[in-house]
A and B are shown apart, each in its own frame.
Chain A
């Protein structure tokens, strides 16, 4: 809000007068001339606030009339959370099943090695079998460690479940009784996350490689 040029001089003059009066120990009330000068601006400001309030009120009423939102918050979002949890559970079961089989195969690899050791050391099959058993053991390790995708994808999905839950709660709050009492300041509807951890690496997120981490740790004496 800028005062028209012709008012500028008058405004400065009124302010000077006020300061002089304050310095002289006079009344702290704004001089009538100043109030008069500022009044049109105050009115414009209040008109803007009133207009914004009206638009906000209309928006909230429209929002509440839209029953699609109620359906989304009431059914679709809990359903989405349920499905995401199911995905985490399915990958968990699959990973455990794979790890079960890896355990069994490790036993087989050990048995092959034990049987090979009963062969005479001059028998060429002995060394070959021991080597094969070792390769088998290493590959099974890789297979086991590949199952860490379940942890990583699970962490990412759990973050999304928490986000959906927060948005769902905020929507229900907005659609519920609180929406009619906009006079009272509502509490922050979406709680701030308790941890600000970035979580598993995803495309577009700047992360540190193990090598960079090692260098950083070394510089810190770890």
Chain B
């Protein structure tokens, strides 16, 4: 069972999508959610406190999701934070690039609530197994 109080950062440049993800997470019982509108605003938030989980879009102005992911993986303190990418980018090359950068899950928009739940469950199940 996952900690429903875990601190989640949702990063997307579209306010509607942040709200949709927040709502779906809320419906799954996760309510400790912070939002950022791109990697550039997400990064100081990640530095300032400790998030248990990051859900990020890819294509954003400022700092993209893949850059944010690489920055997270390159940081000693927060390097192991699980990152789920929720993006409209559905090209093989992008999926491979994200996997190589160390993404924990990849959801292609448009998506549904069941896919989001399934991916989150899988990510934390793997983490529990590895621990």
A: residues with CB less than 8 A from B are: 92, 95-96, 99, 102-103, 137, 141-142, 144-145, 147-152, 154-155, 195, 197-201, 207-210, 213, 216-217, 220-222
Contacts and interface: CB of A to CB of B under 8 A. Distances in A.
A185 to B, nearest CB: 31
Contact of B24 (A145, A199, A200, A210): A145
26 contacts: A92-B16, A96-B16, A99-B16, A99-B20, A103-B23, A144-B20, A145-B20, A145-B24, A147-B16, A148-B111, A150-B16, A152-B88, A152-B110, A195-B64, A197-B89, A197-B94, A199-B59, A199-B88, A208-B95, A209-B108, A213-B106, A213-B108, A216-B92, A216-B99, A217-B105, A222-B103
Interface of B: 12, 14-17, 19-20, 23-24, 27, 58-59, 64, 88-92, 94-96, 99-100, 103-113, 115
Contacts of B64: 195
Grouping DSSP codes into helix (H, G, I), strand (E, B) and loop, the B interface class, with mixed when no group exceeds half, is mixed
B106 A151 contact: no
Q: Which 10 A-B pairs have the closest CB atoms?
A: A207-B90, A200-B88, A220-B99, A151-B14, A151-B17, A95-B16, A150-B16, A208-B90, A222-B99, A198-B91
Given A99-B19, A197-B59, A217 B91 contact: no
A150 B103 CA distance: 25
B19 A217 contact: no
Contacts of A220: 96, 99-100
B88 A151 contact: yes
Contact of A213 (B16, B20, B95): B95
A148 B16 contact: yes
A148 B91 contact: no
A139 B52 CA distance: 29
Contacts of B89: 197-199
A152 B59 CA distance: 11
A92 B15 contact: yes
B110 A148 contact: yes
A151 B12 contact: yes
Given A208-B92, A210-B108, A141 B16 contact: no
A148 B109 contact: yes
B90 A213 contact: yes
